Structure 1
């Protein structure tokens, strides 16, 4: 239960940071570093990052950012599949 709440909170925060960065981009204000955005995704906020990119149309063509985010998502999917397989095979 606590893990689900933390996961949801992290993804909400990640989504909000992507929205904030897009707003700052439009205003010409201080920006959030790409490293920070990718770190949030790598810590488990990749669903929020993907949703934020899509809804805010943010960082959609920025390379290599897009490839880094895709790699993070792929690694997390592989890790999750492995974890589910391991849990399913446990006695």
Structure 2
């Protein structure tokens, strides 16, 4: 996101901190933006700081290529791609 002062802000992080707030989420509940989810997060498994690192990697990929490394016609297809397929090589875009 870019503010009105042209300052870049990174949003949608902090999923890892939810692991300490288990009473507020149900076990196996999937949370996050599908295109940036780590495979274990997409499967409803435990998340941690490594999940945020995955999302950062996806953001860097997108910043370089202008595209996401996994695709799908809808959220379910996108999650399937993240869990079961290899990412699109970045060289396809740059």
Superposed pair shares fold, TM > 0.5: no
| Structure with more contact order per residue of length (Cα contacts < 8 Å, sep ≥ 6) | 1
TM-score, length-normalised on structure 1? Answer: 0.32
